[in-house]
Chain A
């Protein structure tokens, strides 16, 4: 797999650290309650198909990226900076 970093260009998968589903961008409020925090920390849609996930360009620009990727074919269809995906 190669990931096209918006800052650095296309790079080998080994430069990146995989964090998990992009749900990590939607941190609940501290007092949102047990169910909301369970959802955020543990529960996953875990699709066989397209998914949005967080990768960190550890050996490159140190940017957090939202990567749209297919979990069956490993095809990557979109990469954007997490800061931009969020806004």
Chain B
């Protein structure tokens, strides 16, 4: 089934009775060439690119819950390529380019909206840092415009520019930054992978990884044993537990990050606005809800829900920056489990076990990486060589200390990134 304007019109006129499920619900086979553990955004896109770009067949994605039920459906949907350090810079640039062709590629409306992202600054020192970051982005081939105070006012007239503690000095505008509909990204990749023969196995929890003589042989699951020549661990916040099944201990601590959405409002916030000094960022969804969030709760957690001190902090930061949102009612809040690394940057690499691959450490920036991560991991699995855009996302950088990518220079503590 291909989507088109004509098809939508026809279905609309005939009671929408012709739509079919977007993917099959197959029984797991006893053996696959490649098994992807984790049916989140990254796992699905990995399977998609393995099939679409490398022509590989006989692939399964094992998901312990349901497609779209994890972090891919819990994030705040921001897509950007505004990193500073080599390694991250080329990777997110690669991912953003994939985003820009994604709807055509998948024949699926992921509602990618390049509405522009503005990072605000509040001092001369911060302005210098953002000017430097903007230059790095331009050097990478992406876009960045340094706005002064009046420049920001043209875009965001509703800010409290004269706040005593954080007066707005200006902002770094990343015009190609924006948002996308996160569920649709999961569904689009799932549908694309399924159409190319990938088995998406839901309600299938991996309980063990079979390793023999240093080589991976398959996995044990809640739906039986599955043999596999290659296995990839793509499980975000659960990376620690799944890697332990392969006898590995990872440089990861899982933390909770909360997010919030307000009732639906008329269009009022046209961009993604990031207020780093207050640990607050916000955008408005196409349904009208203000989607916003802040920093980690700062303690290790698998609860997928946070505590009230951070809720209060985020609301205070929002009111500090844009008092106009004060009367909007918060509809709901939730938490996601973030796989935090000691340098705040991700890992796409082989492991010491032959045929076992690792894709994790996305901290709280995993959503924008969905296309890039899948694309680069698929390349690594298919060719056993790293994709040039992800060659620096190595696991051994922690042991050697060479090539660490600590964007904020905050040191080797998992929750400080």
Contact = CB atoms under 8 A, between A and B. Distances in A.
Interface in A21-71: 21, 34-35, 38-39, 41-48, 51, 53, 69, 71
Interface residues of A, number: 27
A38 B399 CA distance: 5
A18 B250 contact: no
A20 interface: yes
Interface in B294-308: 298-303, 307
B414 interface: yes
Given A18-B298, A18-B299, A42 B309 contact: no
A19 B251 CA distance: 15
Contact of B240 (A39, A41, A44): A44
Contacts of A1: 299, 307
Contacts of B14: none
A73 interface: yes
Given A41-B412, A46-B240, A53-B300, A35 B249 contact: no
A74 B241 CA distance: 18
Nearest to A18: B299
B32 interface: no
Given A35-B399, A38-B399, A46 B253 contact: yes
B218 interface: no
Contact of A20 (B301, B303, B309, B415): B415
B117 interface: no
Contacts of B399: 34-35, 38, 42
Rank and list the top 5 A-B pairs by shortest CB-CB distance, nearest first. A46-B240, A42-B251, A38-B399, A48-B302, A42-B398
5 contacts: A13-B299, A14-B309, A21-B300, A48-B241, A71-B300
